[in-house]
């Protein structure tokens, strides 16, 4: 029913191995036989079986791509870019959604391991130690996490958070809050540290969290923010920030009149929200592309000892919109 290499061999009156070579090492064939084979293949509509090929070569030409939550608008552009990059190199992408759960995440790399050449973990929620262990079984590349010996791409959120806080300080804010994300998130740690170190003795900072990074959690935390007596807040991501803004609006707290809000990611939502959200732009698409590049580059060398784990750090920047303003009584 399906046409195999053997059919092509018969059609072209050569041996299977010659057909195989016509595809994988064309230059080792006499031009006329190569043409004869390719012609026969075309005639029969032959497509090599990637499965069979994978079995002998040990390379599936597939990549696993695990994200915390596909529905979080932070990820789709990254997935899209990664998928295109992979395809350009004749790779295909398995997508899996870990539902923000470390256990599922771990399980997923195990499940995928046998049918991919490597997996990229996006914003992983699992511990470094476990990643280390997993990466002994299968090449792993990380997005938004940094680990020695593991290829990774991070977004320089420290830089972004620094300018964000400086922005708030310049506006005159002295009582800040950080609405934290998931505890296991590397980005969360980075931002949190930066907020503290930049504010230092120039402003107080209250931390609220950890939170699941979605709008609901943001909405819920609004109450605590209102009571915390802060005039500005940086949220772990846009989703939390937007939920928070809704929550505050709901409580009659004006943004940015009473409280300024800054998000992170610059997802589509940020421009749309009212007030338009001041946020930190992160290059998600670039991250997706770089991640598959690094992974492929890492898996390229066959002897494991020689493997070199590249790292790339992507710049971020603050985009000021309408959700930030001077604190309430700064005019008085």
Partner DNA sequence: TAAAATTACGCAAACGATTGCAGGGCGGTC
Partner DNA sequence: GACCGCCCTGCAATCGTTTGCGTAATTTTA
Q: Provide the binding-site residues for DNA, judged by CB under 7 A.
A: 2, 4-6, 13-18, 20-21, 23-24, 28-30, 32-34, 46-49, 52-53, 55-57
Please tell me the distance from the alpha carbon of residue 97 to that of residue 287, in angstroms, as a whole number. 18
Which of the choices DNA, a second copy, none does residue 180 contact, using the CB cut-off of 5 to 8 A by kind?
A: none
Least distance between DNA and beta carbon 23 (Å): 6
Other beta carbons less than 10 A from residue 301's beta carbon: 11
x/- string (CB under 8 A) for a second copy, residues 190-209? --------------------
Least distance between DNA and beta carbon 303 (Å): 14
Q: Does 106 bind a second copy (CB under 8 A)?
A: no
CA quadruple 126, 123, 62, 96: dihedral, nearest 10: 80
Other beta carbons less than 10 A from residue 227's beta carbon: 9
CB closer to DNA out of 24 and 308: 24
Judged by CB under 8 A, the residue of 35, 88, 127, 272 near a second copy is 272
Judged by CB under 8 A, the residue of 93, 199, 291, 292 near a second copy is 93
Q: Is there a cis peptide before residue 256, judged by omega within 30 degrees of 0?
A: yes
Which of the choices DNA, a second copy, none does residue 94 contact, using the CB cut-off of 5 to 8 A by kind?
A: a second copy
Q: Which two tokens stand for residue 150?
A: 């593991």
Q: How far is CA 264 from the centre of its chain?
A: 14
Q: Which two tokens stand for residue 98?
A: 């870990």
Q: Does 250 bind a second copy (CB under 8 A)?
A: no
The answer to whether 181 and 236 have CB atoms below 8 angstroms apart is yes
Please tell me the distance from the alpha carbon of residue 300 to that of residue 156, in angstroms, as a whole number. 27
CB closer to a second copy out of 112 and 222: 112
Judged by CB under 8 A, the residue of 273, 280, 287, 325 near a second copy is 273
Q: Does 96 bind a second copy (CB under 8 A)?
A: yes
CB closer to DNA out of 92 and 271: 92
The answer to whether 241 and 279 have CB atoms below 8 angstroms apart is yes
Q: Does 183 bind a second copy (CB under 8 A)?
A: no
Which of the choices a second copy, DNA, none does residue 265 contact, using the CB cut-off of 5 to 8 A by kind?
A: none
Q: Is there a cis peptide before residue 210, judged by omega within 30 degrees of 0?
A: yes
Q: How far is CA 127 from the centre of its chain?
A: 17
Give the Å distances, CA to CA, from 1 to 23, 36, 50: 22, 23, 17
Q: Does 130 bind a second copy (CB under 8 A)?
A: no
CB closer to DNA out of 52 and 127: 52
Which of the choices a second copy, DNA, none does residue 29 contact, using the CB cut-off of 5 to 8 A by kind?
A: DNA
CB closer to a second copy out of 48 and 328: 48
Paired strand residues for 179: 208, 235
Judged by CB under 8 A, the residue of 48, 172, 326, 328 near a second copy is 48
Q: Name the nearest CA neighbour of 123 among 104, 139, 100.
A: 100
Please tell me the distance from the alpha carbon of residue 324 to that of residue 279, in angstroms, as a whole number. 10
Q: Does 70 bind a second copy (CB under 8 A)?
A: yes
3-state helix, strand, coil in the chain (%, to 5): 50, 15, 35
- Which residues of this chain interact with a second copy, rule CB under 8 A? 47-52, 54-55, 60, 62, 65, 69-71, 73, 75-77, 79-80, 83-84, 87, 92-97, 110-115, 242, 268-269, 272-274
């Amino acid at each position: 029913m399906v046409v195999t290499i053997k059919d092509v061999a018969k059609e072209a009156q050569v041996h299977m191995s010659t057909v195989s070579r016509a595809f994988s090492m064309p230059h080792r064939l006499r031009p006329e036989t190569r043409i004869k084979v390719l012609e026969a293949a075309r005639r029969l509509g032959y497509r090599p079986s990637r499965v069979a090929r994978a079995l002998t070569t040990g390379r599936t030409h597939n990549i696993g791509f695990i994200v915390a939550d596909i529905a979080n608008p932070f990820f789709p552009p990254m997935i899209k870019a990664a998928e295109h990059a992979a395809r350009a190199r004749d790779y295909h992408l398995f997508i899996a959604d870990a539902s923000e759960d470390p256990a599922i995440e771990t399980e997923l790399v195990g499940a995928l391991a046998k049918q991919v050449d490597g997996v990229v973990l996006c914003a992983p929620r699992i511990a470094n130690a476990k990643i280390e262990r997993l990466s002994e079984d299968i090449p792993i590349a990380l997005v938004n996490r940094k680990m020695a010996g593991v290829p990774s791409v991070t977004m320089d959120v420290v830089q972004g958070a620094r300018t964000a806080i400086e922005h708030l300080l310049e506006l005159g804010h002295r009582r800040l809050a950080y609405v934290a994300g998931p505890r296991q998130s590397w980005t969360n740690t980075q931002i949190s540290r930066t907020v503290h170190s930049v504010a230092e003795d120039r402003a107080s900072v209250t931390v609220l969290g950890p939170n699941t990074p979605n709008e609901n959690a943001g909405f819920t935390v609004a109450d605590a923010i209102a009571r915390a007596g802060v005039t500005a807040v940086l949220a772990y991501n846009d989703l939390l920030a937007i939920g928070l803004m809704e929550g505050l609006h709901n409580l009659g707290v004006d943004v940015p009149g009473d409280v300024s809000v800054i998000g992170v990611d610059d997802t589509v939502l940020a421009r749309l929200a009212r007030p338009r959200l001041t946020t930190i732009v992160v290059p998600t698409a670039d991250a997706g592309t770089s991640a598959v590049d690094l992974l492929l580059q890492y898996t390229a060398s066959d002897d494991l000892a020689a493997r070199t784990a590249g790292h790339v750090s992507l710049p971020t920047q603050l985009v000021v919109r309408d959700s930030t303003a001077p604190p309430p009584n700064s005019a008085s």
